[in-house]
Structure 1
């Protein structure tokens, strides 16, 4: 008693399944870790008595290197410095990394994932490490504002293309936009 479109009877008429090949684009964070962390508290314990509002300077940079054909290390470097007229209260240097797997992606998409999406995914964890390090140094935790890594990536790519156009050719190989702010 088979009806039209009955699953059991339509098995013979189904198109053959895909070849089982792994050909879909995929990218993601495989692992993440603190590669290097330095906390300096050069004026302690005097700095704990300072009442002047500190001047904060936060710098970041993005780097990447290929580990294997489908695996790269993306490095988010963050330096946070707190200074007053009395001196430097603290300096926190963090190198926070992620192993990023990317397969079956065009180079342009790999580049964008490496320098925009992967840092966006890593940043909340790096921000927590910095906050904890500042707190552990004896100061109020430093909570960094979110960063629009995609916007920075697009902006730096546009600047690179404008510079290439002004020079009349492409930039040297290996010149990649990172972030610094």
Structure 2
């Protein structure tokens, strides 16, 4: 985004979204069947990943956006690990029409939070004795459309 100043030069304009803070709101890692699930010769676990996004207004132009992730790995009927993460950010949104605020909060804000949440999940699974779980990029536009249509949060199998 840019505009022209009086000399005909372009200069960047302020983006409508600013990240004020990022933080872990809630985090859990469970390894309920260790050490059995970590023994050599175990088959690769089947991993399912669920993602949800929610937001709330906490000030005139200040919003909290929470990216919730639930990752469960199973070997047969046994749970290998379970990771639940609520990773949040405080965002200031200015200069947007009212109808554009919600899409920005539920698409762009989680897109900015995702790499950090992904790293936390990868570190937790690695520290739990498993290969790091590298969650594929998420289409937050599709997730927003599903939420708007009243469907369940996105679930994927890795």
Q: Number of paired residues?
A: 142
- Is 2:22 the counterpart of 1:32? yes
After TM superposition, where is structure 1 displaced by more than 6 Å over at least 4 residues in a row? Answer: none
Give the whole-Å Cα distance in 1 for the aligned partners of 2:48 and 2:23: 24
Structure 1 residue 156: deviation in Å?
4.6
Q: Find the partner of 1:89 among 80, 86, 98.
A: 80
Q: Find the partner of 2:66 among 61, 75, 78.
A: 75
**Structure with greater strand share of residues:** 2
**Structure with greater helix share of residues:** 1
8 Å contact kept, 2:20–2:89: yes
SS at match of 2:58: strand
In structure 1, what is the equivalent of residue 9 of structure 2?
Answer: none
Higher relative contact order (CA 8 A, sep 6+): 2
The structure number with the bigger radius of gyration is 1
TM-score, L = length of structure 2: 0.81
Query: Which segments of 5 or more consecutive residues in structure 2 lack a partner in the other structure?
Result: 1-5, 7-13
Structure 1 residue 152: deviation in Å?
3.0
- Report matched runs for 1:110-121 at 5 Å: 110-121=101-112
Q: Find the partner of 1:145 among 130, 136, 153.
A: 136
8 Å contact kept, 2:50–2:153: no
TM-score, L = length of structure 1: 0.72
